[in-house]
Amino acid sequence: MTVESTAARKTARTGGKRAAAKKTSSAKTAKTAKASADEQHQPVQLLTPEGKRVEHPEYTIDLTAEELRGLYRDMVLTRRFDGEAVTLQRQGELGLWPSLLGQEAAQIGSGRATRPDDYVFPTYREHGVAWCRGVDPTTLLGMFRGVNNGGWDPHENNFHLYTIVIGSQALHAAGYAMGIAKDGADSAVIAYFGDGATSQGDVAEAFTFAAVYNAPVIFFCQNNQWAISEPTERQSRVPLYQRAQGYGFPGVRVDGNDVLACLAVTRAALERARNGEGPMFIEAFTYRMGAHTTSDDPTRYRRDEERQAWEARDPISRLRTYLEAEKLADADFFAAVDEESEALGQRTRDVIRSMKDPDPLSIFDNIYADGHALVDEERAQFAAYQASFAEEGN
């Protein structure tokens, strides 16, 4: 063996060791970076899944025992109503129903953070927010039964009608917020949408207008991780709350199954907006434990293990655990809430089965405040068409 070949072999071995060391170092760096990123994206949390109270450096909340019990009651009753609506759809009483199962904390926490003079723009799943705004839950059923286009007066509770078109309510909210800012009103606006809606152009445009005009609006995204059958990672390369940075306003991720954190973060964001500090994006990281709607079958695109893991983080169970551990509620309280929830279920069944079909001509009502010649003509044509069936019967 020559001196040259021996030296070459030594050099190769040394180079191989250096390459291996470099590869190991890169892997460690990547692992450290991932750990740092995971820590950075940890949501704001004030109540752990085990029902333990924790503190957060930026967001705090101090609630009385009565207020805590109220949050628990809100979530239980909302879930009971929602479950009854699912059952009614299965029995043919509703054409469709979008369940909020698993998202009670995000809705009740944020809903209870609003003031009466704030204005809410929901999607079609905000049954818990509607409850907080004083809307009779049974009125939510009319649209899904097909007897009306929304059974409540938006101005009575400052709660807009449900919006079926994905993401369009974000633009409505931004425009409304720009208007109240020009009026000098001391109130704020909150728009709700899901993770799938963040892929819509309407939401991007709403972000742009809200930022440029410093509008007092909160964009509240319930990231339940599934836009029907598409997971969030197929919609965005970054956590959703970080998108706000590109538009020039802050974003924050909150534990969407922690009602205390959702209340604290939303309350702070709304107060910030009222003080003229502009929009904010809240990503409530939660999970849709049921189907997207009653026409969906989630078993076709997600694993049972995933759902079971999130069931262990149930928002109602964690608050109950805390109330019991801190002796803030007793057995009589929980029994009373359960009894009240059953009464709500019964009332829901009674109301839905007594809903009457509307007068066919009522579809022309409430279109223009002062009437419209074309609408009057269309009403007359439709009335004649309806009357023709009676004539054929004779």
Q: Return the closest-CA partner of residue 213 out of 273, 137, 141.
A: 273
3 vs 190: CA distance, rounded Å:
78
- DSSP letter string, 42-96: PPB-SB-TTS-B---SS------HHHHHHHHHHHHHHHHHHHHHHHHHHTTS-S-
Active-site choice (90, 301, 368, 385):
301
Could you give phi then psi for residue 149, rounded to 5 degrees?
-105, 20
Q: Is 303 exposed, middle or buried (0-12, 13-18, 19+ CB in 10 A)?
A: exposed
267 is catalytic: no
CB 259 within 8 A of CB 75: yes
Active-site choice (69, 73, 145, 292):
292
Residues 6+ apart with CB under 8 A from 307: 287, 289, 298
3-state secondary structure of 148: coil
CB 219 within 8 A of CB 191: yes
301 is catalytic: yes
CA distances from 191 to 26, 51, 126, 153, 389 (A): 43, 29, 11, 18, 45
Question: Tokens 């049972």 — which residue?
Answer: 304
314 vs 86: CA distance, rounded Å:
19
- For the chain, the maximum distance between any two Cα atoms, rounded to a whole number of angstroms, is 115
Buried/exposed code over 309-332 (b: 16+ C-beta within 10 A; e: otherwise) = ebeebbbbebbbbbbeeeebbeee
Residue 269 is encoded by which pair of tokens?
């964001």
Active-site choice (73, 80, 267, 288):
288
281 vs 133: CA distance, rounded Å:
21
Catalytic residue IDs: 288, 292, 301
